[in-house]
Chain A
């Protein structure tokens, strides 16, 4: 499972409140990603990180920010949650070595914004 955990696994929040999701990995991978999954859209990249303090935007980054202050943790923040951000959020890492082109996914966080 590539040693990826996500917290919380489920969250219900209200419109306008800030929300932070955490992704934690135990295998020192350099690249980490945040995706959202919505019916009819598959998974779409929100942000990714290629090292501590090094991040870049994905295709659906509006309304989201990220931070990576240490290798093992990648945080996704919704500064002011909206109902359109109700989704399932997946963290992923890019493997190194022989599997270096492969991304492995965490178990997901189900977020409901009321």
Chain B
């Protein structure tokens, strides 16, 4: 079984400061990993993903994340926060074995607030 833990249900950072949202996973095999963002009253939008290859992945809006197998982590970062980054962020994992493993397992989300 796979699971995702997002540390910190609420994170506040000042505009221009570093954004760090934490995600740790548990999986029997190295999974596929995703970060989604949800703005109020909207659906989820893919920020970035890791499947194979380079462990540092870059996404939209200046975000990036690094897959660290030894730490079972996939933390999301952005060097300089912008007011428009205020949203809820979800980390998700999926088994790389498709048949019978269709489920995306989501973390409980981190609400990011940007302080002017």
Identify the A interface with B (CB < 8 A). 31, 33, 40-45, 48, 50, 56, 58-59, 90, 94, 101-108
Contacts and interface: CB of A to CB of B under 8 A. Distances in A.
A33 B41 CA distance: 19
Interface of B: 4, 32, 34, 36, 41-46, 49, 51, 90, 92, 94, 96, 102-104, 106-109
Contact of B49 (A59, A90, A102): A102
A59 B103 contact: yes
Nearest to A41: B108
A56 B43 CA distance: 23
Given A31-B102, A48-B102, A56-B102, A102 B46 contact: yes
A107 B41 CA distance: 8
Contacts of B51: 101
Given A41-B108, A42-B107, A33 B102 contact: yes
A107 B94 CA distance: 22
Given A42-B90, A42-B109, A104-B46, 16 more contacts: A33-B104, A40-B108, A42-B4, A42-B106, A42-B108, A43-B44, A43-B90, A43-B92, A43-B104, A48-B103, A101-B51, A102-B46, A102-B49, A103-B104, A106-B43, A108-B42
Contacts of A33: 102, 104
Contacts, number: 49
B110 to A, nearest CB: 10
A43 B107 CA distance: 8
A44 to B, nearest CB: 7
A37 B1 CA distance: 20
Contacts of A31: 102
A101 B49 contact: yes
A50 B102 contact: yes
A107 B43 contact: yes
Nearest to B94: A101
Nearest to B103: A45
Nearest to B102: A48
Contacts of A102: 34, 46, 49
27 contacts: A31-B102, A33-B102, A33-B104, A41-B108, A42-B4, A42-B109, A43-B90, A43-B92, A43-B106, A44-B106, A45-B104, A48-B103, A50-B102, A56-B102, A58-B103, A59-B103, A90-B43, A90-B44, A101-B51, A101-B96, A102-B34, A102-B46, A105-B36, A105-B44, A105-B45, A106-B43, A108-B43
